[in-house]
Structure 1
Amino acid sequence: MTKKAATNATVDPAVVTKEIEEMVATGRKSLQDAFINGTEAAEKAFKSNSETFKTNYEKAVAEGKTGFEKAIKTLEGSQFYDKNSAEAFVKASNAAVEKSEKIGAAMIDYGTGRLQEVFNVAKTIAETEDVTKVVELQTEFARSSMQSYVSEMGKFNALVTDAAKSVVEPFGAQYAANLDMFSKQA
Protein backbone atom coordinates (compact mmCIF):
# COMPACT_ATOMS: atom_id res chain seq x y z
CA MET A 1 0.00 0.00 0.00
CA THR A 2 1.36 3.35 -0.91
CA LYS A 3 1.57 6.32 1.35
CA LYS A 4 -1.25 8.03 -0.49
CA ALA A 5 -3.56 4.98 -0.16
CA ALA A 6 -2.91 4.73 3.57
CA THR A 7 -3.80 8.41 4.00
CA ASN A 8 -7.06 8.03 2.07
CA ALA A 9 -8.19 4.98 4.10
CA THR A 10 -11.24 5.71 6.20
CA VAL A 11 -11.51 4.89 9.88
CA ASP A 12 -14.94 4.14 11.26
CA PRO A 13 -15.31 6.18 14.51
CA ALA A 14 -17.92 3.76 15.85
CA VAL A 15 -15.48 0.85 15.56
CA VAL A 16 -12.71 2.82 17.27
CA THR A 17 -15.08 3.96 20.03
CA LYS A 18 -16.24 0.37 20.60
CA GLU A 19 -12.64 -0.89 20.78
CA ILE A 20 -11.73 1.81 23.31
CA GLU A 21 -14.82 1.05 25.42
CA GLU A 22 -13.90 -2.66 25.43
CA MET A 23 -10.32 -1.88 26.49
CA VAL A 24 -11.53 0.41 29.30
CA ALA A 25 -14.08 -2.18 30.49
CA THR A 26 -11.45 -4.93 30.46
CA GLY A 27 -8.98 -2.70 32.31
CA ARG A 28 -11.58 -1.66 34.87
CA LYS A 29 -12.57 -5.30 35.47
CA SER A 30 -8.90 -6.28 35.92
CA LEU A 31 -8.41 -3.45 38.41
CA GLN A 32 -11.59 -4.38 40.28
CA ASP A 33 -10.50 -8.01 40.50
CA ALA A 34 -7.03 -7.04 41.68
CA PHE A 35 -8.44 -4.67 44.29
CA ILE A 36 -10.95 -7.23 45.56
CA ASN A 37 -8.26 -9.94 45.76
CA GLY A 38 -5.94 -7.54 47.59
CA THR A 39 -8.71 -6.55 49.99
CA GLU A 40 -9.57 -10.18 50.69
CA ALA A 41 -5.89 -11.00 51.35
CA ALA A 42 -5.56 -8.02 53.71
CA GLU A 43 -8.77 -9.02 55.48
CA LYS A 44 -7.51 -12.60 56.03
CA ALA A 45 -4.19 -11.32 57.35
CA PHE A 46 -5.97 -8.86 59.63
CA LYS A 47 -8.30 -11.53 61.04
CA SER A 48 -5.39 -13.85 61.70
CA ASN A 49 -3.32 -11.12 63.36
CA SER A 50 -6.23 -9.80 65.42
CA GLU A 51 -7.02 -13.29 66.73
CA THR A 52 -3.35 -13.73 67.67
CA PHE A 53 -3.38 -10.31 69.35
CA LYS A 54 -6.54 -11.14 71.32
CA THR A 55 -5.08 -14.46 72.46
CA ASN A 56 -1.80 -12.82 73.51
CA TYR A 57 -3.68 -10.02 75.29
CA GLU A 58 -5.81 -12.49 77.25
CA LYS A 59 -2.70 -14.52 78.09
CA ALA A 60 -0.85 -11.41 79.32
CA VAL A 61 -3.79 -10.38 81.51
CA ALA A 62 -4.02 -13.87 83.01
CA GLU A 63 -0.27 -13.99 83.66
CA GLY A 64 -0.44 -10.53 85.21
CA LYS A 65 -3.18 -11.67 87.58
CA THR A 66 -1.19 -14.75 88.55
CA GLY A 67 1.94 -12.68 89.14
CA PHE A 68 0.03 -10.20 91.30
CA GLU A 69 -1.49 -12.99 93.39
CA LYS A 70 1.97 -14.53 93.91
CA ALA A 71 3.40 -11.16 94.94
CA ILE A 72 0.63 -10.64 97.50
CA LYS A 73 1.14 -14.13 98.94
CA THR A 74 4.87 -13.43 99.23
CA LEU A 75 4.20 -10.15 101.05
CA GLU A 76 1.74 -11.78 103.46
CA GLY A 77 4.60 -13.60 105.16
CA SER A 78 6.57 -10.39 105.72
CA GLN A 79 6.70 -8.69 109.12
CA PHE A 80 5.95 -5.39 107.37
CA TYR A 81 2.69 -6.64 105.89
CA ASP A 82 -0.35 -4.94 107.39
CA LYS A 83 -3.41 -6.92 106.40
CA ASN A 84 -5.84 -4.05 107.00
CA SER A 85 -3.88 -1.57 104.88
CA ALA A 86 -3.01 -4.08 102.20
CA GLU A 87 -6.58 -5.25 101.81
CA ALA A 88 -7.66 -1.94 100.24
CA PHE A 89 -4.68 -2.06 97.89
CA VAL A 90 -5.46 -5.64 96.87
CA LYS A 91 -9.14 -4.82 96.25
CA ALA A 92 -8.23 -1.71 94.24
CA SER A 93 -5.64 -3.62 92.23
CA ASN A 94 -8.03 -6.45 91.47
CA ALA A 95 -10.68 -3.92 90.41
CA ALA A 96 -8.14 -2.14 88.21
CA VAL A 97 -7.14 -5.39 86.51
CA GLU A 98 -10.76 -6.45 85.99
CA LYS A 99 -11.87 -3.08 84.64
CA SER A 100 -8.82 -2.60 82.42
CA GLU A 101 -9.42 -6.05 80.97
CA LYS A 102 -12.99 -5.02 80.08
CA ILE A 103 -11.81 -1.71 78.60
CA GLY A 104 -9.07 -3.42 76.60
CA ALA A 105 -11.47 -6.05 75.26
CA ALA A 106 -13.99 -3.35 74.29
CA MET A 107 -11.29 -1.37 72.47
CA ILE A 108 -10.11 -4.46 70.58
CA ASP A 109 -13.68 -5.37 69.61
CA TYR A 110 -14.41 -1.83 68.45
CA GLY A 111 -11.21 -1.60 66.40
CA THR A 112 -11.64 -4.98 64.74
CA GLY A 113 -15.31 -4.29 64.03
CA ARG A 114 -14.54 -0.94 62.39
CA LEU A 115 -11.80 -2.44 60.24
CA GLN A 116 -14.10 -5.27 59.16
CA GLU A 117 -16.62 -2.63 58.06
CA VAL A 118 -13.87 -0.90 56.06
CA PHE A 119 -13.10 -4.17 54.27
CA ASN A 120 -16.79 -4.76 53.54
CA VAL A 121 -17.30 -1.25 52.16
CA ALA A 122 -14.10 -1.42 50.10
CA LYS A 123 -15.23 -4.67 48.46
CA THR A 124 -18.71 -3.29 47.79
CA ILE A 125 -17.30 -0.11 46.25
CA ALA A 126 -14.88 -2.12 44.10
CA GLU A 127 -17.75 -4.20 42.76
CA THR A 128 -19.98 -1.17 42.09
CA GLU A 129 -19.85 0.32 38.63
CA ASP A 130 -22.20 3.25 39.16
CA VAL A 131 -20.33 6.34 40.40
CA THR A 132 -23.46 7.74 42.05
CA LYS A 133 -23.87 4.52 44.02
CA VAL A 134 -20.19 4.67 45.07
CA VAL A 135 -20.69 8.21 46.43
CA GLU A 136 -23.82 7.06 48.28
CA LEU A 137 -21.92 4.11 49.80
CA GLN A 138 -19.06 6.34 50.93
CA THR A 139 -21.44 8.93 52.38
CA GLU A 140 -23.39 6.28 54.28
CA PHE A 141 -20.15 4.73 55.57
CA ALA A 142 -18.89 8.12 56.77
CA ARG A 143 -22.20 8.83 58.52
CA SER A 144 -22.41 5.44 60.21
CA SER A 145 -18.74 5.61 61.18
CA MET A 146 -19.26 8.91 62.96
CA GLN A 147 -22.38 7.65 64.73
CA SER A 148 -20.57 4.50 65.80
CA TYR A 149 -17.59 6.51 67.04
CA VAL A 150 -19.75 8.82 69.16
CA SER A 151 -21.69 5.88 70.58
CA GLU A 152 -18.55 3.89 71.40
CA MET A 153 -16.83 6.86 73.02
CA GLY A 154 -19.84 7.20 75.31
CA LYS A 155 -19.48 3.52 76.24
CA PHE A 156 -15.73 3.89 76.79
CA ASN A 157 -16.34 6.94 78.97
CA ALA A 158 -18.79 4.94 81.09
CA LEU A 159 -16.30 2.06 81.38
CA VAL A 160 -13.47 4.39 82.45
CA THR A 161 -15.69 6.20 84.98
CA ASP A 162 -16.81 2.87 86.42
CA ALA A 163 -13.18 1.70 86.59
CA ALA A 164 -12.09 4.85 88.41
CA LYS A 165 -14.88 4.47 90.98
CA SER A 166 -14.05 0.78 91.49
CA VAL A 167 -10.37 1.51 92.05
CA VAL A 168 -10.91 4.42 94.45
CA GLU A 169 -13.72 2.81 96.47
CA PRO A 170 -11.56 0.42 98.57
CA PHE A 171 -9.31 3.30 99.60
CA GLY A 172 -12.33 5.36 100.63
CA ALA A 173 -13.54 2.56 102.85
CA GLN A 174 -10.04 2.13 104.32
CA TYR A 175 -9.78 5.90 104.89
CA ALA A 176 -13.13 5.91 106.70
CA ALA A 177 -12.08 2.96 108.86
CA ASN A 178 -8.78 4.63 109.76
CA LEU A 179 -10.56 7.89 110.55
CA ASP A 180 -13.04 6.05 112.75
CA MET A 181 -10.24 4.22 114.57
CA PHE A 182 -8.32 7.48 115.07
CA SER A 183 -11.37 9.32 116.43
CA LYS A 184 -12.05 6.51 118.94
CA GLN A 185 -8.47 6.68 120.19
CA ALA A 186 -8.57 10.45 120.65
Structure 2
Amino acid sequence: MTKKSTNTAAVDPTAVTKEIEDMVATGRKSLQEAFLNGTEAAEKAFKSNSETFKTNYEKAVAEGKSGFEKVIKTLEGSQFYDKKSAEAFVKASNAAVEKSEKIGAALIDFGTGSLQDVFNVTKTIAETEDMTKVVEIQTEFAKNSMQNYVSEMGKFNTLVADAAKSVVEPFGAQYAASLDMFSKQA
Protein backbone atom coordinates (compact mmCIF):
# COMPACT_ATOMS: atom_id res chain seq x y z
CA MET A 1 0.00 0.00 0.00
CA THR A 2 1.32 3.35 -0.97
CA LYS A 3 0.82 6.43 0.98
CA LYS A 4 -0.69 9.40 -0.83
CA SER A 5 1.04 12.68 -0.50
CA THR A 6 -0.95 15.13 1.53
CA ASN A 7 1.22 18.03 0.61
CA THR A 8 -1.42 20.70 0.08
CA ALA A 9 -0.27 24.24 0.06
CA ALA A 10 -2.37 26.65 1.98
CA VAL A 11 -4.53 28.74 -0.38
CA ASP A 12 -5.15 32.28 0.70
CA PRO A 13 -8.79 33.06 -0.21
CA THR A 14 -8.10 36.80 -0.10
CA ALA A 15 -5.32 36.48 -2.67
CA VAL A 16 -7.50 34.34 -4.95
CA THR A 17 -10.38 36.80 -4.66
CA LYS A 18 -8.07 39.70 -5.45
CA GLU A 19 -6.64 37.86 -8.47
CA ILE A 20 -10.14 37.15 -9.82
CA GLU A 21 -11.22 40.77 -9.25
CA ASP A 22 -8.11 41.98 -11.11
CA MET A 23 -8.84 39.65 -14.04
CA VAL A 24 -12.47 40.79 -14.21
CA ALA A 25 -11.46 44.47 -14.03
CA THR A 26 -8.86 43.97 -16.78
CA GLY A 27 -11.36 42.08 -18.93
CA ARG A 28 -14.03 44.73 -18.37
CA LYS A 29 -11.60 47.52 -19.28
CA SER A 30 -10.61 45.66 -22.47
CA LEU A 31 -14.27 45.19 -23.39
CA GLN A 32 -15.01 48.85 -22.70
CA GLU A 33 -12.11 49.96 -24.90
CA ALA A 34 -13.14 47.59 -27.70
CA PHE A 35 -16.76 48.75 -27.45
CA LEU A 36 -15.75 52.43 -27.50
CA ASN A 37 -13.45 51.87 -30.47
CA GLY A 38 -16.23 50.04 -32.32
CA THR A 39 -18.71 52.80 -31.47
CA GLU A 40 -16.33 55.50 -32.66
CA ALA A 41 -15.70 53.64 -35.93
CA ALA A 42 -19.45 53.19 -36.49
CA GLU A 43 -20.07 56.85 -35.71
CA LYS A 44 -17.42 58.01 -38.20
CA ALA A 45 -18.86 55.75 -40.89
CA PHE A 46 -22.38 56.98 -40.12
CA LYS A 47 -21.34 60.65 -40.31
CA SER A 48 -19.55 60.08 -43.60
CA ASN A 49 -22.51 58.21 -45.09
CA SER A 50 -24.96 60.81 -43.77
CA GLU A 51 -23.08 63.64 -45.41
CA THR A 52 -22.92 61.71 -48.69
CA PHE A 53 -26.65 60.97 -48.47
CA LYS A 54 -27.49 64.62 -47.76
CA THR A 55 -25.34 65.79 -50.67
CA ASN A 56 -26.92 63.25 -53.04
CA TYR A 57 -30.41 64.14 -51.80
CA GLU A 58 -29.83 67.86 -52.40
CA LYS A 59 -28.38 67.10 -55.83
CA ALA A 60 -31.38 64.93 -56.76
CA VAL A 61 -33.81 67.65 -55.67
CA ALA A 62 -31.94 70.28 -57.69
CA GLU A 63 -31.86 68.02 -60.75
CA GLY A 64 -35.57 67.30 -60.33
CA LYS A 65 -36.37 71.02 -60.25
CA SER A 66 -34.22 71.63 -63.31
CA GLY A 67 -35.88 68.76 -65.18
CA PHE A 68 -39.35 70.02 -64.30
CA GLU A 69 -38.50 73.50 -65.56
CA LYS A 70 -37.23 72.01 -68.85
CA VAL A 71 -40.42 70.01 -69.30
CA ILE A 72 -42.57 73.10 -68.74
CA LYS A 73 -40.52 75.12 -71.24
CA THR A 74 -40.85 72.31 -73.78
CA LEU A 75 -44.61 72.17 -73.27
CA GLU A 76 -44.99 75.93 -73.63
CA GLY A 77 -44.07 75.64 -77.28
CA SER A 78 -46.79 73.09 -77.96
CA GLN A 79 -50.06 74.07 -79.62
CA PHE A 80 -51.94 72.08 -76.97
CA TYR A 81 -50.43 74.03 -74.10
CA ASP A 82 -52.97 76.20 -72.28
CA LYS A 83 -51.06 78.66 -70.16
CA LYS A 84 -53.99 79.49 -67.86
CA SER A 85 -54.74 75.85 -67.12
CA ALA A 86 -51.10 74.96 -66.76
CA GLU A 87 -50.32 77.72 -64.27
CA ALA A 88 -52.18 75.95 -61.47
CA PHE A 89 -50.38 72.72 -62.24
CA VAL A 90 -46.99 74.48 -62.31
CA LYS A 91 -47.69 76.30 -59.04
CA ALA A 92 -48.88 73.10 -57.38
CA SER A 93 -45.87 71.17 -58.67
CA ASN A 94 -43.45 73.82 -57.49
CA ALA A 95 -45.13 73.86 -54.08
CA ALA A 96 -44.95 70.05 -53.91
CA VAL A 97 -41.24 70.07 -54.72
CA GLU A 98 -40.51 72.83 -52.23
CA LYS A 99 -42.52 71.22 -49.42
CA SER A 100 -41.21 67.71 -50.09
CA GLU A 101 -37.68 69.11 -49.95
CA LYS A 102 -38.42 70.59 -46.51
CA ILE A 103 -40.03 67.37 -45.30
CA GLY A 104 -37.14 65.28 -46.63
CA ALA A 105 -34.55 67.53 -44.99
CA ALA A 106 -36.45 67.40 -41.69
CA LEU A 107 -36.60 63.60 -41.84
CA ILE A 108 -32.88 63.38 -42.57
CA ASP A 109 -32.06 65.75 -39.72
CA PHE A 110 -34.31 63.85 -37.31
CA GLY A 111 -32.80 60.49 -38.26
CA THR A 112 -29.20 61.65 -38.08
CA GLY A 113 -29.82 63.49 -34.81
CA SER A 114 -31.46 60.46 -33.26
CA LEU A 115 -28.63 58.16 -34.25
CA GLN A 116 -26.07 60.65 -32.98
CA ASP A 117 -27.89 60.61 -29.63
CA VAL A 118 -27.59 56.81 -29.62
CA PHE A 119 -23.84 57.04 -30.22
CA ASN A 120 -23.46 59.62 -27.44
CA VAL A 121 -25.40 57.59 -24.87
CA THR A 122 -23.61 54.40 -25.89
CA LYS A 123 -20.23 56.02 -25.21
CA THR A 124 -21.44 57.39 -21.88
CA ILE A 125 -22.75 53.99 -20.81
CA ALA A 126 -19.53 52.25 -21.87
CA GLU A 127 -17.49 54.66 -19.77
CA THR A 128 -19.74 54.36 -16.71
CA GLU A 129 -18.63 51.98 -13.98
CA ASP A 130 -21.72 52.17 -11.74
CA MET A 131 -24.63 49.99 -12.90
CA THR A 132 -27.15 52.18 -11.09
CA LYS A 133 -25.89 55.15 -13.09
CA VAL A 134 -26.13 53.08 -16.30
CA VAL A 135 -29.81 52.39 -15.61
CA GLU A 136 -30.39 56.09 -14.91
CA ILE A 137 -28.69 57.06 -18.18
CA GLN A 138 -30.74 54.52 -20.16
CA THR A 139 -33.98 55.61 -18.50
CA GLU A 140 -33.28 59.28 -19.20
CA PHE A 141 -32.34 58.46 -22.80
CA ALA A 142 -35.56 56.48 -23.34
CA LYS A 143 -37.65 59.31 -21.86
CA ASN A 144 -35.93 62.00 -23.94
CA SER A 145 -36.12 59.87 -27.09
CA MET A 146 -39.86 59.41 -26.72
CA GLN A 147 -40.44 63.11 -26.02
CA ASN A 148 -38.30 64.06 -29.01
CA TYR A 149 -40.15 61.57 -31.23
CA VAL A 150 -43.57 62.91 -30.25
CA SER A 151 -42.39 66.50 -30.77
CA GLU A 152 -40.90 65.72 -34.18
CA MET A 153 -44.01 63.86 -35.32
CA GLY A 154 -46.04 66.94 -34.46
CA LYS A 155 -43.69 69.02 -36.62
CA PHE A 156 -43.93 66.49 -39.47
CA ASN A 157 -47.73 66.54 -39.28
CA THR A 158 -47.65 70.33 -39.57
CA LEU A 159 -45.24 70.15 -42.53
CA VAL A 160 -47.41 67.58 -44.34
CA ALA A 161 -50.63 69.55 -43.72
CA ASP A 162 -48.93 72.72 -44.97
CA ALA A 163 -47.66 70.85 -48.04
CA ALA A 164 -51.12 69.49 -48.83
CA LYS A 165 -52.64 72.95 -48.51
CA SER A 166 -49.93 74.49 -50.73
CA VAL A 167 -50.42 71.87 -53.42
CA VAL A 168 -54.22 72.11 -53.50
CA GLU A 169 -54.41 75.90 -53.24
CA PRO A 170 -53.50 76.73 -56.88
CA PHE A 171 -56.18 74.36 -58.13
CA GLY A 172 -58.76 76.06 -55.92
CA ALA A 173 -57.91 79.42 -57.44
CA GLN A 174 -58.03 77.93 -60.95
CA TYR A 175 -61.38 76.26 -60.15
CA ALA A 176 -62.80 79.56 -58.86
CA ALA A 177 -61.57 81.41 -61.96
CA SER A 178 -63.07 78.76 -64.26
CA LEU A 179 -66.36 78.84 -62.36
CA ASP A 180 -66.45 82.64 -62.60
CA MET A 181 -65.77 82.52 -66.34
CA PHE A 182 -68.46 79.87 -66.83
CA SER A 183 -71.05 81.85 -64.85
CA LYS A 184 -70.35 84.99 -66.91
CA GLN A 185 -70.90 83.07 -70.13
CA ALA A 186 -74.21 81.66 -68.95
> Which category describes the TM-score, using the shorter chain as reference length?
over 0.9
Q: Deviations over 1:80-124 (max 9, x none)?
A: 000000000000000000000000000000000000000000000
Number of matched pairs: 184
Aligned to 1:175: 175
Unaligned runs of 5+ in 1: none
Which 4+ runs in 1 deviate beyond 6 A?
none
TM-score normalised to the size of structure 2? 0.97
Closer/same/farther in 2, CA of residues 159 and 67 from structure 1, 3 Å limit: same
Aligned to 2:156: 156
Written as runs of structure 1 = structure 2, the 5 A alignment for 1:12-161 is: 12-161=12-161
TM-score normalised to the size of structure 1? 0.97
2:10 is paired with a residue of what secondary structure? coil
Q: Deviations over 1:146-179 (max 9, x none)?
A: 0000000000000000000000000000000000
Give me the identity figure in percent. 85
Following superposition, the deviation at residue 3 of structure 1 comes to 5.9
Following superposition, the deviation at residue 132 of structure 1 comes to 0.1
Q: 1:175 & 1:3 partners in 2: Cα distance?
A: 108
Counterpart code for 1:53:
F
CA-atom RMSD in angstroms: 1.0
Q: 1:125 & 1:44 partners in 2: Cα distance?
A: 19
2:5 is paired with a residue of what secondary structure? helix
Counterpart code for 1:75:
L
Unaligned runs of 5+ in 2: none
Closer/same/farther in 2, CA of residues 95 and 83 from structure 1, 3 Å limit: same
Q: 2:169 & 2:30 partners in 1: Cα distance?
A: 61
Closer/same/farther in 2, CA of residues 3 and 104 from structure 1, 3 Å limit: farther
